[in-house]
Structures are given as C-alpha cells and as structure tokens.
C-alpha cells in the first residue's frame, strides 16, 4: 500500500485531477456565494418581518451540490471521470511496463490484486470527499457563518408546520429524504450525502479497474467509470425509473420525485457485486501471466 501511495503521489495526473476538482468546487462556491447574497438581500427586503423566512436562506443551502450553480451541477456530472483518472489505469500501466511480473514473482497474487482494489476504492473515495469538504470550509469562511443552529431550528419549524413565513418562501425547501438530519444540523445532512457519493465514486473507480483487466485501449479504460455513470443515467431515464438512478439520487438537491432509501443500498450492492465478480474473472484470466 505504501508503494501504491508513493506511485500515486509521483504521478502528474493525480495533481491535475485534484486541481481540476478543487477548481470546480471553488468556482461552484464562488457562484453559490453570489447567489446566496442576492437571495438573502431579496429575502430581507420582502420577508424582513418573518424571521423564519430569512433564517431559511442560509449559506449552508449553497454548499456544492445543494446550490443550483452551474459548476456544482457540473461537478456531479463529471466526478467519475476526474476521481478515477489517477488510479483506474494502474493495472494497465503495470502490465504494459512489465512491473506486474516483478510484483507477482515476489508476492501472493491475491494479496497484490486485493490491495490494488482497496487502494483504488479509497483513493477515489478521498478524491471525491476532500474537495467537497474544502468547499464547505470555503463557503463558511466567505460567509463568516459556522453555526447553523438558527437554520435548523427554522427548518424544524417549517417541517412541523409552525414556522411563520412570508408568502414568497417556497415550501419546496423541504427535503424528502434525510429531512430529520437537516433539522438537527445541515452538516449532518451534507456529510451523509457526501459520504454516499464518495462510496459510489469508489465503486465506479473499481469498476474501471476491473474492466481494465480485459482491455488494451488506455483511453477506454480511463473513460469506463464515466461511461457507466452516463450510460446508467440514460438507460434509467429511458425506462422511467429516475429514482433508481445514481445520477439523480446522489444529488443532495433531490431533483426528482418519488425518491426513497432503498436505491442507495441496492444500487451500491449490485454495482459492487458486479465489479467484484468482473475483477475476480479478470484476475483468474490473467493468472498465468508468468507462463
């Protein structure tokens, strides 16, 4: 694992990918913050007498993923490509360079492939999570707000129906899933979404790694996680099962109707079972690499 980490840190593409992710998050925060200022101004002028209406417009609603900013949506569109870029072709590179022979003579096959799998999963996991956490910190720093208890109290009253709000406060601010977390703290809500997203990012990256055992085209290997994500989106949109599609339910805005909790677990389980079985078949197929 330590060697894998060194390899990762010495690749230029790691930094390119991380920089692009952070740039996207930074632009999303900047856009979200200007949206927030505008909304907050309007809310103060129109609903200044209603404390709950003003409290519901909080910077926490403009974190990456929650805002309607272009770069926030684009981050959620492109993340499988950027997150898996540094790690997805590592088996391909070692096969092409012949390093895999050297490794497999000295190590157990299952140890090597298993650690590769885990390392890919967790690298993608942290590459997804880190820029988003930086986005939260940046947004809080820009707006100067770190404590969101007034927002969660107002949200709690909105859900219970006791909030006193102006006419122009949309009731669509109510979330369908994880609503009780949002009434405790927005941090909890967003962390749940970010961690689920990071798990999916890891799953997509390992899917790319598993398919790389069967392919010789490096470009196709790099594109594989993104193709799966986009392909899934289009197939689920065509058969109208939008609530089963990762593209829709990973979005913290909850953009489609009829969402429920089962798809989070079921899709992840199906994806992981598929990935692991493809990986095992691939490892078996490449097992006579020394002969």
Could you say which of 83, 91, 182, 222 contacts other proteins (CB under 8 A)? 222
- Strands (DSSP E) along the chain, which ranges? none
Dig out the tokens for 121 from the structure. Answer: 């999963």
Rounded Cα–Cα distance for residues 44 and 56 (Å): 11
Under the binding rule (CB under 8 A), the answer on residue 231 touching other proteins is yes
Nearer to other proteins, 226 or 279 (CB): 226
In degrees and rounded to multiples of 5, residue 44 shows phi and psi of -65, -35
For other proteins, which stretch binds (CB under 8 A), given 72-80, 149-157, 182-190, 248-256?
A: 72-80
- Please say whether the dihedral angle defined by the alpha carbons of residues 113, 5, 197 and 265, taken in this order, is positive or negative: positive
Q: Please state the closest distance from residue 246 (CB atom) to other proteins, in A.
A: 15
Burial 257-270 (b: 16+ CB within 10 A, else e): eebeeebbeebbee
For other proteins, which stretch binds (CB under 8 A), given 34-42, 48-56, 77-85, 119-127?
A: 77-85
Nearer to other proteins, 166 or 232 (CB): 232
For other proteins, which stretch binds (CB under 8 A), given 48-56, 187-195, 215-223, 262-270?
A: 215-223
Number of residues interacting with other proteins: please give it, by CB under 8 A. Answer: 24
CA distances from 166 to 103, 157, 238, 268 (A): 67, 14, 39, 41
Could you say which of 110, 146, 214, 234 contacts other proteins (CB under 8 A)? 234
Q: What angle do CA 130, 228, 220 make, to 5 degrees?
A: 95
Binding mask 4-23 for other proteins (x = CB under 8 A): ---------x------x---
Rounded Cα–Cα distance for residues 193 and 63 (Å): 12
Under the binding rule (CB under 8 A), the answer on residue 220 touching other proteins is yes
Q: Which residues bind other proteins (CB under 8 A)?
A: 13, 20, 70, 74, 77-78, 81-82, 85, 217, 219-220, 222-223, 226-227, 230-231, 233-235, 238-240
């Amino acid at each position: 694992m330590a060697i894998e980490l060194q390899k990762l840190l010495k690749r230029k593409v790691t930094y390119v990918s991380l920089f692009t992710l952070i740039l996207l998050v930074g632009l999303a925060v900047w856009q979200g913050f200007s949206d927030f200022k505008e909304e907050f101004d309007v809310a103060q002028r129109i609903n200044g007498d209603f404390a709950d209406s003003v409290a519901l417009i909080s910077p926490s609603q403009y974190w990456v993923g929650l805002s309607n900013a272009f770069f926030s949506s684009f981050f959620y569109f492109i993340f499988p490509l950027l997150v898996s870029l540094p790690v997805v072709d590592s088996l391909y590179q070692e096969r092409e360079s012949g390093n895999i022979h050297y490794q497999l003579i000295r190590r157990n096959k299952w140890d090597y492939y298993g650690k590769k799998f885990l390392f890919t999963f967790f690298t993608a996991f942290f590459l997804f999570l880190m820029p988003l956490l930086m986005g939260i910190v940046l947004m809080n720093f820009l707006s100067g707000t770190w404590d969101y208890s007034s927002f969660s109290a107002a949200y709690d009253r909105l859900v219970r129906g006791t909030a006193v709000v102006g006419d122009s406060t949309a009731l669509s601010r109510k979330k369908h899933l994880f609503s009780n977390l949002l009434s405790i703290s927005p941090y909890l809500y967003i962390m749940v979404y970010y961690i689920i997203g990071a798990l999916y990012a890891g799953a997509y990256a390992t899917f790319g790694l598993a398919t790389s055992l069967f392919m010789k085209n490096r470009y196709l290997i790099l594109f594989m996680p993104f193709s799966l994500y986009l392909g899934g989106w289009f197939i689920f949109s065509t058969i109208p099962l939008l609530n089963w599609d990762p593209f829709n339910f990973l979005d913290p805005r909850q953009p489609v109707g009829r969402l429920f909790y089962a798809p989070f677990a079921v899709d992840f389980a199906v994806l992981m079972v598929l990935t692991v079985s493809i990986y095992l078949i691939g490892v078996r197929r490449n097992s006579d690499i020394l002969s």
